[in-house]
Amino acid sequence: MQTITAMWTIKPSYLAIGIMMSLIIAFTSCMNQQPGESNNEVEQAEETESIDYGQKMLRESMQEDIDLADEYIQKMENKLDIATAGEKEDITAAIAEIEAEKQQIQAQLSEVTNATVDTWQTVKNDVEKSVNYSRHKIDSLVKNTEKP
């Protein structure tokens, strides 16, 4: 009998905690809303903030890719000094292709920077596909020139 009584005393307290948490969440969301601002405006502001963060992260990643491409180009240019004539042609061609891919990433970077809320998702998907292709191509060019 004591167990049943104990359960009945615990359950209402959980219910009270749940109700209090719901009230706190509702109150907090109302406090975050500016006077005269509708929920739609709050959602749009949150979406814009999310897009801004996504753009920032994608731009940083793309800049790292550009820096890495520059590093690969520098390493390959250093190899030109000790390469044979046939190797020099291959390395020069690889450098030109990496430079072209780097230019492609830089062009995509400006698209990301200029994306609006309406075009963000499309731009993001297109850019990610293109940059992934460029990364893969650069990696394979580097691997091909590093073979003995």
Span 110-126, average pLDDT: 81
Q: Where in the sequence is the domain holding 113, given as residue range(s)?
A: 50-146
Overall domain count for the chain = 1
Q: Is residue 24 part of a domain?
A: no
Taking only the tens place, the pLDDT of each residue in 57-115 is: 888 888 888 888 899 889 888 888 888 888 888 888 888 999 998 898 888 888 888 87
Return the C-alpha torsion angle 77, 80, 81, 85, nearest 10: -160
Instruction: Tell me, yes or no, if the pTM score tops 0.75.
Output: no
Q: Is residue 66 part of a domain?
A: yes
Helix or strand or coil: residue 81?
coil
Integer angstrom CA distances of residue 3 from 9, 14, 15, 63, 118:
10, 17, 18, 64, 59
Q: Is residue 118 part of a domain?
A: yes
Confidence label for 9 from pLDDT (cuts 50, 70 and 90): very low
